[in-house]
Amino acid sequence: MRAMVLEKPGTPLELREVEPPKAGPLEVVVDMAACGVCRTDLHVVDGDLVDPKLPLILGHEIVGRVSALGEGVTGLHHGMRVGISWLGHTCGHCRYCNLGAENLCDAPLFTGYTRDGGYAEACAADAAYVFPLPEGPSDAELAPLLCAGLIGHRSLRMCGDAERLGIYGFGAAAHIVAQVARYQGRRVFAFTRPGDEAAQKFAEQLGASWAGGSDQLPPEALDAAIIFAPVGSLVPLALRATRKGGIVVCGGIHMSDVPSFPYADLWGERQIRSVANLTRQDGEEFLSLVGPAGVKTEVQTFPLEQANVALDRLRDGQLLGAAVLVN
């Protein structure tokens, strides 16, 4: 089968003919129809996330059809439309798994990082970590929900009942979570790269009450802020935009160093917290919310062999919404 393969971080992906995957016990093989291009993929390619499986097939926002079932698989069948996300396996017995926090498992596997993912014509997955998907929306439209949507949902939950919500970095995750936030009756304040009028207009079209540069203060103090951009210097800026008792959630898997800032910016019982990975429960909750909330994803599709082009456009901030590879 065809696959875009990473041989070494810091180098472009290479189009290769590789052996198609086989379904081991409790695994399925999924024929890939669409795979979202996530900023996490960019962090793997650029070497920000260390020790990936090499050579590696990236991709963890996968939509496709089950084409093979391994021994012991139940609840899935040939031809079923399914999604595969970042969390690919957990040990099931460490302290965190026993506490119901499988996103913090001590011995996990991650799709497109420590096991092969969806930048290919097919991939194998642990059947217990595969999500059945509804018919209806296109494969490309569903793909960004499998990570950008899920991590946005988990980040939004961390904000509690915040009514005035700031979102820093208005890309794939932000444009999804903004729709959910509006459905929940929250007001969204969107922060983009300074001068990025296209992204600000996009945010306003999705119902943002205000949109401006990340170097600006909003017209009202925020109850909470989510930072999706991997820029550590946004943390003190978000704290200064947030009211006493407010929360700043760092929603990315990687971020540049957070600079020092005056304690006064944190004082007043403000909180900073990170979001790590996701759980299967997150997936089930979020996917059941997509229909009622009327979530629509903005996608730009690329053929599989143009994965490097999609990654470059994501790196350069040239996308509105999400990039998706299609077969």
CATH number at residue 244: 3.40.50.720
Give the tokens for residue 155: 């980040």
**Last residue of a domain, which of 274, 297, 312?**
274
Q: What is the mean pLDDT of residues 31-45?
A: 97
Q: What is the pLDDT of residues 148-189, one digit of tens each?
A: 999 999 999 999 999 999 999 999 999 999 999 999 999 999
Q: Are residues 118 and 232 in the same domain?
A: no
Total number of domains in the chain: 2
pLDDT band at 134 (very low <50, low <70, confident <90, very high): confident
Pairing of strands 122-126, 210-213: unpaired
pLDDT computed for residue 35 by the predictor? 98
Q: Are residues 161 and 74 in the same domain?
A: no
pLDDT tops 90 at residue 135: no
Q: What is the pLDDT of residues 306-324, one digit of tens each?
A: 999 999 999 998 888 999 9
Residues with Cβ < 8 Å from 217, sequence gap 6 or more?
240, 241
Domain holding 266, by residue range, is 149-274
Half-sphere exposure of residue 106: CA atoms within 13 angstroms, side-chain side: 8
Alpha helix ranges (H) inside 14-145: 39-45, 95-98, 139-142
Q: Are residues 160 and 223 in the same domain?
A: yes
Rounded to whole angstroms, the Cα distance separating 61 from 279 reads 15
Mapping DSSP to helix (H, G, I), strand (E, B) and coil, where does residue 204 land? helix
pLDDT tops 90 at residue 126: yes
Q: Are residues 163 and 124 in the same domain?
A: no
Residue 16 backbone phi and psi in degrees, to 5: -130, 155
pLDDT computed for residue 68 by the predictor? 98
Q: Are residues 228 and 114 in the same domain?
A: no
pLDDT tops 90 at residue 197: yes
pLDDT tops 90 at residue 136: no
Q: Are residues 25 and 114 in the same domain?
A: yes
Average pLDDT, the chain: 97
Pairing of strands 222-227, 242-250: parallel
Q: What is the mean pLDDT of residues 54-72?
A: 98
Q: Are residues 120 and 47 in the same domain?
A: yes
Q: What is the mean pLDDT of residues 123-147?
A: 95
CATH of the domain at 82: 3.90.180.10
Rounded to whole angstroms, the Cα distance separating 96 from 170 reads 32
Q: Are residues 137 and 155 in the same domain?
A: no
pLDDT computed for residue 22 by the predictor? 97
Q: What is the DSSP secondary structure assignment for residue 177, as one 8-state letter?
A: H
Q: What is the mean pLDDT of residues 48-74?
A: 97
Q: What is the mean pLDDT of residues 101-105?
A: 98
pLDDT tops 90 at residue 221: yes
Q: Are residues 189 and 298 in the same domain?
A: no
Q: Are residues 240 and 194 in the same domain?
A: yes
Q: Are residues 103 and 11 in the same domain?
A: yes
Q: What is the mean pLDDT of residues 34-62?
A: 97
Q: What is the mean pLDDT of residues 114-125?
A: 98
pLDDT computed for residue 311 by the predictor? 97
Q: Are residues 315 and 247 in the same domain?
A: no
Which has the closest alpha carbon to 208: 235, 229, 187? 187
Q: What is the pLDDT of residues 284-301, one digit of tens each?
A: 999 999 999 999 999 999
